[in-house]
Amino acid sequence: MGGDFGPRSIVQASLACLSATPSLHLTLVGQPSLLEELIHGQSAADRARLTIVAASEVITMDEKPAQALRGKPDSSMRVALELLRDGKVQACVSAGNTGALMALSRFVLKTLPGIDRPAMVAAIPTQTGYCQLLDLGANVDCSAEHLLQFAVMGSVAAQTLGIARPRVALLNIGTEDIKGNQQVKLAATLLQAARGINYIGFIEGDGLYRGEADVVVCDGFVGNILLKSSEGLATMIAARIEALFKKNFASRAVGALALPLMKRLQADLAPARHNGASFLGLQGIVVKSHGSAGVQGFQSAIQRALIEIQENLPERLHGRLEELLS
């Protein structure tokens, strides 16, 4: 029921995913009459794999997490997470209020042993491939211990994506030991002592894009600002290039060559917006689709949840955490 555009695009994305993936079963949680109306006319075959579960309340986008936790026992978000906890579904995808989703996920699903706070992670494109950046905004005011936990989770997530020995770095304002705030200096000490993590030290904002690490760890405030400023910058550069190609008559034809690249890059740079971000560290799979995601964005988030189900991400995370943190 959440997201900037409400359930309409979520239902559309769900129907598209059902058509594309014959083994998929989806459960929509929300107000049945509204949802029925939106899926009206769907073919009988796909309809059989689509279940509606009633939830009478909706958490709004500006609601405080504490309010969402205490005040709305029958919210669509909470009911969906309870279905996941009770094993009736295998993953939960939401485009709703991030803070509320995080608070409810922690409360309903609980975190994995050794993890205080789940983190949001997404793949950021670099000059050499991708890096997993976390946290992207689920946690502000993190301690050094939280950053250590993010590092462990990010490392394991990168391993499930096929990187044997992920290079893990802490985002900082310099690479020398004396640089940074107290939080990041202390986290470096903890990471140096951590077993089983290929900690390579501090990384700066430009080093991230040069591809110097596979996993980059920071608190949610910094990660969110890095992500969103990158989206904004990519958009600005695309606009400037578009303007350049329009200005010059001779170049207009060639603009067609550069623009698709820029568009793809923009999508690449907005992974949280386009593909969803995963919550790591929960006893269950939760994917957060961006609030302003359209139909395609929400489809990508469902796809991501499917991959995490196939990869058994929480189980693998649990196993590695026991080894690493014990």
| 47 interacts with its own copies by CB under 8 A | no
Q: Which is nearer to its own copies, 27 or 221 (CB)?
A: 221
Q: 134, 221 in Cβ contact below 8 A?
A: no
| 49 interacts with its own copies by CB under 8 A | no
| 232 interacts with its own copies by CB under 8 A | yes
Dist. CA 7–CA 28, nearest whole Å: 10
Query: Coil, strand, or helix at residue 28?
Result: strand
Work out how close the CB of 71 gets to its own copies at its nearest, in angstroms, rounded to a whole number. 15
b/e per residue 301-317 (b: at least 16 CB within 10 A): bbbbbbebeeeebbeeb
| 292 interacts with its own copies by CB under 8 A | no
Work out how close the CB of 12 gets to its own copies at its nearest, in angstroms, rounded to a whole number. 25
Q: 118, 220 in Cβ contact below 8 A?
A: no
Q: Which stretch binds its own copies (CB under 8 A): 29-37, 40-48, 147-155, 213-221?
A: 213-221
Work out how close the CB of 240 gets to its own copies at its nearest, in angstroms, rounded to a whole number. 7
Among 207, 281, 294, 314, indicate the residue that binds its own copies (CB under 8 A).
207
CA dist list (Å): 99 to 59, 68, 264: 11, 9, 29
Q: 157, 137 in Cβ contact below 8 A?
A: no
Q: Which is nearer to its own copies, 272 or 287 (CB)?
A: 272
Among 251, 312, 315, 322, indicate the residue that binds its own copies (CB under 8 A).
251
Binding mask 174-193 for its own copies (x = CB under 8 A): --x-x-xxx-x---------
Among 104, 169, 269, 272, indicate the residue that binds its own copies (CB under 8 A).
269
Rg of the chain, C-alpha, whole Å: 21
Tracing tokens 């079963």 back to the chain, one arrives at 25
Which of the residues 78 through 137 are near its own copies (CB under 8 A)? 99, 125-127, 137
What is the 3-class SS of 197-266, one letter each residue?
CEEEEEECHHHHHCCCCCEEECCHHHHHHHHHHHHHHHHHHHHHHHHHHHHCHHHHHHHHHHHHHHHHHH
Among 4, 225, 315, 323, indicate the residue that binds its own copies (CB under 8 A).
225
Residues in the chain: 326
Q: Is 130 left (phi over 0), alpha (psi -120 to 50) or beta?
A: beta
| 221 interacts with its own copies by CB under 8 A | yes
Work out how close the CB of 16 gets to its own copies at its nearest, in angstroms, rounded to a whole number. 27
Q: 121, 135 in Cβ contact below 8 A?
A: yes
Query: Coil, strand, or helix at residue 51?
Result: strand
| 60 interacts with its own copies by CB under 8 A | no
Residues 6 or more apart whose CB falls under 8 angstroms from that of 261 comprise none
| 164 interacts with its own copies by CB under 8 A | no
Work out how close the CB of 157 gets to its own copies at its nearest, in angstroms, rounded to a whole number. 21
| 220 interacts with its own copies by CB under 8 A | yes
| 235 interacts with its own copies by CB under 8 A | yes
| 147 interacts with its own copies by CB under 8 A | no
- Residues engaged in binding its own copies (CB under 8 A): 62, 64, 99, 125-127, 137, 140-141, 171, 173, 176, 178, 180-182, 184, 204-210, 218, 220-222, 224-237, 239-241, 244-245, 248, 251, 254, 257-258, 261-262, 265, 269
